[in-house]
Amino acid sequence: MMTSEELLRLGEETNEMDFAKTSKFTDNDIIKGLECCYTTGVDCKDCPFDTFEDCNDVLMAEYVLDLINRQKAEIGRLKEGINFERERVDNIPNLLLQAKSETIKEYIERVSIKLADNARSDYWHWIDDTLHEVEREMAGDTNGLD
């Protein structure tokens, strides 16, 4: 059976642990606390956790685990962002080819209209064939060309 003094001490430790769990320490505070507790030659008075009468490994471990989990989540979020941007960058060559092709087609259509308005009908077939040949050459497609 516990003495009243032991019960009082246990109650103080419980209240201290509850207070510590609700206290907000920055990431730097947690790192500094680890350095103070686990590096030789560092004085406890510099420790952010020194305000607690009985700083212990369990209390420190909870804060460290929380810090690690938050940093892991942030790393995961950043990796997702990097993968999304990498996919966008990898698609740039396809977008450029598509834009080039659309530009060439639009140019050929405009030239065709201008030539059709000003050419005699017996030249129109030759003009049309020549424009399509130029379009294929500009797009890099030489299939069917001599």
Instruction: Read off the pLDDT of residues 65-105 as tens digits, 9 standing for 90 and up.
Output: 999 999 999 999 999 999 999 999 999 999 998 998 888 88
- For the entire predicted model, the pTM comes to 0.50
Give the C-alpha separation, 104 to 142, whole Å: 15
| Higher per-residue confidence, 110 vs 86 | 86
Bigger pLDDT: 96 vs 36: 96
